[in-house]
Amino acid sequence: MPVRGTLTLLLGILCLGHLPGLAASQTLPAGEEALGSKSYDDYETPARCRSCHTDLFRQWEQSMMAQAYTHHWDEIEYFQLAVPHAQRDPQLAEVEAGCNGCHAPLAYWAGDVPPPRPEEGSRANESVSCDVCHTLIGYRGEVPHNYNHISRPGRVKVGPKPGKSSPHHDTEFNRFMLQTELCGTCHNEKSPFDVWVKSTQLEWQEGPYSREGVRCHDCHAPRAWARSASMAEPDSVGQHLFHGAHSISKLSGAVELRMHPDVREVEFDGTVVFSVQLFNAKAGHKIPTGSVEDRLVWLEVTAIDAAGQSYVLPVDEKGFSGEAYTISSDVLAYQDLGVPLDRPDFPGVQRDGIGAGHRIFRMPYFDPQGRMTIMQWNTASLGVDYRLGPRETRIETFTWVLPPEIALGRVTVEARLNYQKLMTPVAELLEVPEEESEVVMINRTRTSIEVYD
């Protein structure tokens, strides 16, 4: 049965190769031109869709896109950092409205910026809602980014399949719904300094999954045999999970780890080299992706000797340029937070807050003064990209000169890959709810050596 759904879909794509909305799309605004071009009333609420599309609604409601405006960290970053920063620095003026182009599209299209705070319960709270995506008919420009999509609100809902009918609305098949460019209009972002500060769809494009036709949808909205509406016949329906880094099950096992020592048996005053292989097996883009400025993904290797004493093994340096940003340390960073926080002599906070010597898979963002920043809109340049590419395998080594106090017998060595959405020092400074800085283990592996006299 699922085969039939796929065949209908394929036929649909073959017959309707061009965007049906092309003519209309030429007159409708995209990107910045769309600011204030519509009103809230042009769009239906997600609650309206819920009555028939119950399961899809309940799935979407739990996703971050349903909370893109109301989620507490978003509120803090927008109202405490971005808005005051935009008001103080003319070069950043555009972001006061711009954040909403992706996080509160209805408010952006209605020209209601800055929108009322989430607690006021305005329609900005609908965030990336059903009617946001299901009225998008294409995008304008060469590369999808910075909300350069085209919205055509109204009775017609665009969907992934031809020939669907509904008692509440008209439906129209649009190939755009099946393309990663749809996601790219919000998941690729350029800063006011013309720097790519989000490039999830571009990373996907240059990686192996695009060549195989495995799209964002296949991993984040996988199809299952189900009813898309309460009165519909079962079909192969994209589940609106949109699970990402906020979902432990999505992060779990995204990278596989193995580790081996160069020697199994070592004299008590000897040296062992552990090699760890990290394989990005599950993500269609780099890890981390998206809000890379906030993310910490780090490899921690610890050893426990026969007496139960534990040791942290520092990673070996490789000697590439910019490497210092990829090894955790106690340096201070993020001094540019002082501008929006109105603390002119702000010394910064700890850059990583995870202890020293661990390998961090990251790409640092720099402000116009060359200091590391977590404010992606204040990013004037990028540092070394040491993230794990899709299906890439990386090797890290740990040379361990056995400490004099080591106990004889078996030493168990564990490698853990950890993930943190927001580094603790920044989360504490801005009083971001703890769940944003919770440490999640992506994976772990073990090996052992024998120490003899």
- State which of positions 41-60 bind ligand HEC (CB under 6 A): 44, 46, 48-49, 51-53, 56-57, 60
**CB closer to ligand HEC out of 107 and 402:** 107
Tokens standing for 301? Answer: 């290797």
Considering only residues 19, 20, 28, 73, which one is a binding residue for ligand HEC as defined by CB under 6 A? 73
**CB closer to ligand HEC out of 81 and 272:** 81
Contact between 64 and ligand HEC (CB under 6 A)? yes
Tokens standing for 411? Answer: 């030493």
Write down the least CB distance from residue 87 to ligand HEC, Å. Answer: 12
**CB closer to ligand HEC out of 250 and 258:** 250
Contact between 443 and ligand HEC (CB under 6 A)? no
Considering only residues 25, 122, 151, 180, which one is a binding residue for ligand HEC as defined by CB under 6 A? 180
Name residues contacting ligand HEC, limited to 219-238 (CB under 6 A): 219-221, 228-229, 231-232, 235, 237-238
Q: Where in 337-438 does DSSP place strands (E)? A: 349-350, 359-360, 365-366, 381-382, 393-401, 409-420
Beta partners for residue 393, in sequence order: 279
Name residues contacting ligand HEC, limited to 111-150 (CB under 6 A): 128, 130-134, 146-147
Name residues contacting ligand HEC, limited to 313-332 (CB under 6 A): none
Considering only residues 20, 31, 101, 348, which one is a binding residue for ligand HEC as defined by CB under 6 A? 101
Write down the least CB distance from residue 34 to ligand HEC, Å. Answer: 11
Write down the least CB distance from residue 307 to ligand HEC, Å. Answer: 38
Residue 5 parent element (H or E)? helix 2-15
Are 324 and 353 spatial neighbours (Cβ–Cβ below 8 Å)?
no
Contact between 242 and ligand HEC (CB under 6 A)? yes
Contact between 291 and ligand HEC (CB under 6 A)? yes
Contact between 72 and ligand HEC (CB under 6 A)? no
Write down the least CB distance from residue 120 to ligand HEC, Å. Answer: 18
**CB closer to ligand HEC out of 294 and 300:** 294
Q: Using DSSP, state whether 365 is helix, strand or coil.
A: strand
Alpha carbon 365 to its chain's center: 15
Considering only residues 38, 123, 152, 187, which one is a binding residue for ligand HEC as defined by CB under 6 A? 187
Residue closest to 156 by CA, chosen among 138, 137, 175, 139: 137
Q: Using DSSP, state whether 207 is helix, strand or coil.
A: coil
Tokens standing for 6? Answer: 């796929």
Q: Using DSSP, state whether 170 is helix, strand or coil.
A: strand
Residue closest to 314 by CA, chosen among 323, 326, 327: 327
Contact between 336 and ligand HEC (CB under 6 A)? no
Task: Tell me the C-alpha distance between 191 and 375, whole Å.
Answer: 10
Q: 281 — alpha (psi -120 to 50), left (phi > 0) or beta?
A: alpha
Considering only residues 38, 123, 152, 157, which one is a binding residue for ligand HEC as defined by CB under 6 A? 157
Name residues contacting ligand HEC, limited to 403-422 (CB under 6 A): 421-422
Task: For residue 104, give every residue at least 6 positions away whose Cβ sits within 8 Å of its Cβ, in sequence order, or none.
Answer: 68, 69, 115, 124, 125, 126, 127
**CB closer to ligand HEC out of 229 and 339:** 229
Write down the least CB distance from residue 383 to ligand HEC, Å. Answer: 18
Are 377 and 92 spatial neighbours (Cβ–Cβ below 8 Å)?
yes
Contact between 278 and ligand HEC (CB under 6 A)? no
Write down the least CB distance from residue 145 to ligand HEC, Å. Answer: 6
**CB closer to ligand HEC out of 46 and 383:** 46
**CB closer to ligand HEC out of 56 and 413:** 56
Are 193 and 368 spatial neighbours (Cβ–Cβ below 8 Å)?
yes
Write down the least CB distance from residue 167 to ligand HEC, Å. Answer: 5
Write down the least CB distance from residue 371 to ligand HEC, Å. Answer: 18
Write down the least CB distance from residue 361 to ligand HEC, Å. Answer: 10
What DSSP string runs through 246-292?
A: T-HHHHTTSEEEEEEES-SEEETT-EEEEEEEEEE-S-SS-BS-SST
Considering only residues 284, 364, 383, 425, which one is a binding residue for ligand HEC as defined by CB under 6 A? 284
Name residues contacting ligand HEC, limited to 352-391 (CB under 6 A): 377
Name residues contacting ligand HEC, limited to 245-264 (CB under 6 A): 245-246, 250-251, 254
Tokens standing for 374? Answer: 């977590």
* CB atoms closer than 10 angstroms to residue 90: 8
Cα diameter, the chain: 81
Considering only residues 72, 117, 140, 168, which one is a binding residue for ligand HEC as defined by CB under 6 A? 168
Return the C-alpha torsion angle 10, 15, 19, 22, nearest 10: -170
**CB closer to ligand HEC out of 285 and 449:** 285
Write down the least CB distance from residue 22 to ligand HEC, Å. Answer: 17
Q: Using DSSP, state whether 342 is helix, strand or coil.
A: coil
